[in-house]
Chain A
Amino acid sequence: MSTPVPGVLTGPRMPDSRAPIDEFDVAVRLETQGVTDEVAHALYGYGSTMRMAVAEFPRMASEASGLRVPAPSESWLKAFLHGASYAVPMFISALAIALQGFSLWGGDLEGETASAVAVGVVASFILAGGFVQGLALRMSFYLGIGEHSSAVKVAGLWSGAGMLFLCSASAVFLAVNTLFRWMPFSLGVTSAGFAISLGALFLASAALYVLEMRLAVAGATLAGLAVTTVCVRILDQPVLPGQFLGIWTATGAAVAAAWSRLGPLCRQSTTTIRTFTVARETLIAWASAAAGVLYYLLLFSDRMIAWTAGTQAALLPVMFRGDYETAVGLAMILFVLGAGWVHASTAAFRHWAQDSRTVASAAEPWRLNQNAGRRLLGGIPLFLPLPVLGAVAIYYTAQSLDLLSSPEMERVLVVALTAYPLLVIGLWGRSILEMLNLVHHGLLPAAAAVLADLVIGYVLTRTGTYSLAIYSFLCGSAVFAAGMILAARRACRQFDHHYFAAHL
């Protein structure tokens, strides 16, 4: 009665059959292999398929083995480049300024114009930042579940809302500017124009990043830059109109590139498109949007403080500080490298978490939690060699090329080289919170950092020179780093719980 059954585990459609769970499992498999009651009786001598299953189960259970699928991992370098690639448009822009004196935004402009452009650029980041984060979060969700038409629609909603907000904020700014006469109307329009145009470009680029079309982001930027260059160099037009045309060309190219990917997928889609409401979108994505705004505020607070300090003798209450910008911009290279490190380390952390959870006993979650905390803190010393070496290289390069105008600006560079790594450490904490779907746990530290930055910066620059604003950035970054790491550390104490909830 115990004749082994050949082929039961390896039928035509079951090359990877798994260990049977119980005798019912075996009975079902036998039936789908053609072993009916009659066959079980005639060929194998059992009274029925079920009786045969009961007899065969112990043998089959002992022969088959479990399956463990290891989580795929991304190479560290690839992840690093992914992270750093967010700065590609910035890099292209900086390179263009160095080579031809202008880019899509900024360049060798007159004092007041430069100030107006700077205000517009910073405003575009801060005003669009929240919508960019919201768009990325929501679009990713619908792409993840294969609802491409809904992804397009929700991206359109967030972009539309972002543009509406940018336009409204710009209109309010122009009205208030007219009232208080901060700057001539034409310069106000320039600021508002850059805020709106660049905001549109950031929103369009965000869609490309979500679609993992990083080369297309670079391509769109280059296309825009080419248009600007043609306008200025060949058609001999002023820089600003050329820049506006270039930015909108880049935006159009980004939208076209995104649609070239999504359009065909939308046409294949058979599901109906969802209905979205602003209230619901706000409920779902408010934390990400708020985090985006706070992040850009932190990134640019010191500049705003520096630009508005000591302007009594100037024509405008806002004065672009080119020397300060050069020093901070040089240090920002460290930040780009740091962003790459955060991306790569987060990918490695995620892979570790996935892998560890497949072996960690559910009876002892505290072991995983402890290790998560250790990895969080252990990542920081691993990062330090990068900024130290980077800082030395940047400092000596700046010195040897005589890029800094004064010892004061050298100090700005040194402080900024200290501050950016702190910002990166804070981002490392934030990325862990993001991974655990706890972005809202990072809002308080981010808000505290912005507040510290603004308050300290205001006090220092109003009692000293504008260059002291860099210390406020240092303080803000330190608060950001400490706050985010503490929040992430706290989250790691219940890492198993949060990881589960984040993947619900």
Chain B
Amino acid sequence: MTSRPSILLCTEGTYPHYLGGVSVWCEQLISNIPEADFHVLSVVHTPVQPVRFKLPANVVSVTPVALWGTEFPGDRCEPVSELSARRAATVPAVIAERFVPPFRSVVRSILNSGANPDALGRALLDLHGYFQSFDLYQSFCGQAWEAFLGEIAECPRFRGMTLAEASMCLGWLARFFSILTTPLPRATVTHSSLAGLAGIPGVLLRIRDGVPYVLSEHGILLREVYASMANSEYPDACRAFLIAYHRAIAAANYHFADVITSLGDFNAGWQKRFGAHPGKIRYMPNGVDPRRFLCAPAPAPRPTVLTLARIYALKGITNLIESAAIVRRSVPNVRFRILGEIADIDYFDECKALVARHGLQDHIEFCESDNPAEEYRSAWVYCLPSVSEAMPFVILEAMMSGCPVVATNVGNVAQTLGQCGLLAQPNNPLDLAAQLVTLLQGPHAPELRSRLASSGMQRARATFTIEAATGRFRELYQEITKCRHLSLVC
């Protein structure tokens, strides 16, 4: 009898502690591969983040790794006796001998934006080994500061850093290194949901034990970091350091991953630009449950545009509101239903103010729904106004439900839709409105909606079912473990 295979699934800001598309993907993956045990290592913001999902029986363990909200970086809230013993062992001589050399190597790799991912991975492994016996906080309070300043001084790009900037950057590193204090379980495969901190266990196990590492990026983290840095209030040197850090970590992930799965050509393009070897990249689209999203359209009497999205800037809700003001001129009784939790209250206030400014109170409603399937059925059109996306589940759900789609041409949306939806230029309310009017009020609107609904549903059932999506991962696990003479089959 073969023992059950175990997958170490590493997530960051998603399953099982946060809601969202990637979390849904994780849940699908675990639930649909019951023959494997899953250890979930979840990078979270604070140690008190509650679990938001009912865990399937094959989830053997959930290990949250809190980056913030702890008294000390790397604090695992272990018994005081263990903490005290580890601290007592972390004396200056040990720090100098066992911490500083790999630490300097990691810092050097970061400052070089991950030019040598192999060296970075091995230095991270050394630090991981060190932190199993010695204390992270004590080490950073010790000689890390001087070592960091020394490395900065040798790097022309960062030589001009101020003390405040250096302090901020090293403070981040101390928090990020919390992942290195976490003991890693034995696993058959490591699977990370992004090329960031959560991927580091995959890198470590790949080097230390030769465990195959699968990297499944949904959004491209590094690209998202770039996007967030554009409006960041951090000093320039800190922004540059954060980018360099993320580039280095992404490079290590890409370097040590055996397979990098991608949701489409758009993602693959960015992955290659950031250093992923084209030969490792495989197209593995997401899927949804066709039993849940039945194709039985029952359009509401009033022209209804549906958007399901968490309310924050990248979802482009303000653009949708601007579009709504334009659409109303052609379709006076149009109704926009925007469903989703408020992720950014300031942005939501901005949206409400915009609705009021355009006098759209009777045309736009913000609410939440427990039954999205019913919403798709009653909508005339599904609209995705995002300015950045990977492969949004909502598109797949709308297609599966037979709801025609108008979406901005972002991420892998065009590839996902194929010819089964209308595309608008991102951040262009005028274009978005034009596409919506085409489907709501155009000369052949009913026929066009019907054709898109039908073709979308067929395409979704052929390519984007949950069974197909998870089946691809099952095969992938079997394939890569066979390479190591292991089997996923019990």
Contact = CB atoms under 8 A, between A and B. Distances in A.
B229 A21 contact: yes
A272 B68 CA distance: 15
Main secondary structure of the interface of A (DSSP, over half): loop
Contacts of A271: 46, 48-50
Given A13-B387, A500-B167, 16 more contacts: A13-B231, A24-B274, A25-B226, A31-B388, A34-B425, A36-B426, A67-B233, A147-B69, A270-B50, A272-B48, A274-B48, A279-B79, A279-B81, A357-B163, A363-B159, A504-B140
A32 B235 contact: no
Contacts of B163: 357, 360-362, 365, 368, 496
Interface stretch (B115-123, B236-244, B364-372, B456-464): B236-244
B162 A69 contact: no
Interface in A5-39: 11-14, 16-22, 24-25, 28-29, 31-34, 36, 38-39
Contact of A28 (B48, B159, B161, B230): B230
A270 B342 CA distance: 14
B152 A32 contact: no
A50 B428 CA distance: 20
A283 interface: yes
B73 to A, nearest CB: 6
B80 A18 contact: no
Contact of B427 (A11, A354, A363): A11
B60 interface: no
A181 interface: no
Nearest to A284: B71
17 contacts: A13-B313, A13-B387, A18-B231, A24-B222, A28-B226, A29-B227, A29-B230, A33-B426, A34-B408, A68-B235, A145-B46, A145-B68, A274-B47, A360-B164, A362-B165, A363-B159, A504-B174
B326 interface: no
Nearest to A142: B69
B84 interface: yes
User: What 4 pairs across the A-B complex have the smallest Cβ distances?
Assistant: A357-B164, A34-B427, A279-B80, A34-B426
Given A67-B236, A361-B162, A277 B273 contact: no
A29 B229 CA distance: 10
Interface residue range, chain B: 35 or more
Nearest to A278: B80
Contacts of A267: none
A397 interface: no
A78 B387 CA distance: 46
Nearest to A358: B164
B162 A12 contact: no
B139 to A, nearest CB: 11
B409 interface: yes
Which of A16, A28, A33, A69 lies at the interface centre, i.e. has the most chain B CB atoms within 10 A of its CB?
Answer: A28
Contact of B153 (A13, A69, A359, A362): A362
Contacts of A33: 426-427
Contact of A357 (B83, B162, B222, B388): B162
Nearest to B80: A279
Given A358-B162, A496-B145, A272 B50 contact: yes
B232 interface: yes
Contacts of B428: 34
A31 B426 contact: yes
A150 B72 CA distance: 17
A326 B319 CA distance: 73
Interface string B148-169: 0100110000011111111100
B235 A141 contact: no
B229 A18 contact: yes
Contact of A359 (B162, B239, B274): B162
